[in-house]
Amino acid sequence: MKIYDRSEKKYRETEQYGQNKLQFLYGNVWGRCLLKLVITPAASKLYGQYQKLPISAKKIPRFIEEYHIHTEDFEDREYPSFHSFFIRKLRPGARMIDPRPCSLISPADAKLLVYDITDDLTVFVKGRRYTLSQLTGGKVDISAFGGGLCLVYRLCMDDYHRYCFIDDGTLTDSYAIAGKLHTVSPVSKDYPIYQENSRVVTIAETEHFGTMITIEVGALLVGKINNRQVASFHKGEEKGYFEPGGSTIVMLLPPSSVLIDEDIAAESRKGIECTVRYGEKVGTVFPLERR
């Protein structure tokens, strides 16, 4: 998979975490039979519990080496399990929140792809293609976002898995959508099993964007999406974190609210993700009074 590293201004190739295992699970009959067990909530819970055991800490040094983790960015302490390392915190000053009121910031270290919101838009998130109505569970009116932007932040295993609020504001609603297992015809040439991922949907009134929607998406074997319970928030304040596993944050912004930085916009038009960091500027906000 080719991505654009905006800090180094060059392209690089990345490999999906656990790619060989996923190819086995989805790519042959025996793997698909095993997948029926692997994808169950019980298996996910068992996997999550293992990551919290002291024995799992043995994975940390190899993980750091394989994914080139910059350990100097994080707290200097012992991690008793892989889970504790995965949800590690940054050391003070390791990420700077762009303070300019006109800056749209990234909520996380991630790979970003931006879409224009159209009536027929679908986005590919964690192995499943969704319409925006499906992503939000059909529980919220998204018609006001037509002509706006959909920002998909894909967090990989090597990314920092805590995320922040991108503006000052107040929460108006938040709800969880449980993941579901779907089985289609076993004689189909397509994968006979796919999962509707677990999601947490947040609707907020913000100072610079007006109404915005954020959807955190959990993937296969993700333990939990952890959001802080707050009524109001500030730009750069931690919103929550993901437990072990790949994760995605989807943001829906209303029309004429922001201009995405040109390098990100250009790569998104080609379907190529850009690397971004927690608190980094990714766009410029249009003042509400000028819309």
Return the number of other C-beta atoms located less than 10 Å from residue 204's C-beta: 22
Rounded CA separation 259/175 (Å): 29
Q: Quick check: 190 and 150 in contact, CB under 8 A?
A: no
3-state secondary structure of 248: strand
Q: Which of 137, 205, 215 is nearest to 171 (CA)?
A: 205
- Which 3 state secondary structure label does DSSP give 117? coil
Q: How far is CA 31 from CA 17, 18, 80, 127, 290, in A?
A: 17, 14, 33, 16, 55
Q: What are phi and psi of 205, to 5 degrees?
A: -100, 120
Q: Where are the alpha helices (DSSP H) in the chain?
A: 19-27, 29-38, 41-51, 59-66, 82-86, 132-135, 262-269
Distance of CA 273 to the CA centre of its chain: 13
Whether 249 and 153 have beta carbons less than 8 Å apart is answered as yes
Residue type, 39: I
Q: Which residues lie across from 233 on neighbouring strands?
A: 169
Catalytic residue positions, numbered: 109, 247
| Spatial contact of 276 and 282, defined as CB atoms under 8 Å apart | yes
Tokens at residue 48, please?
């999550």
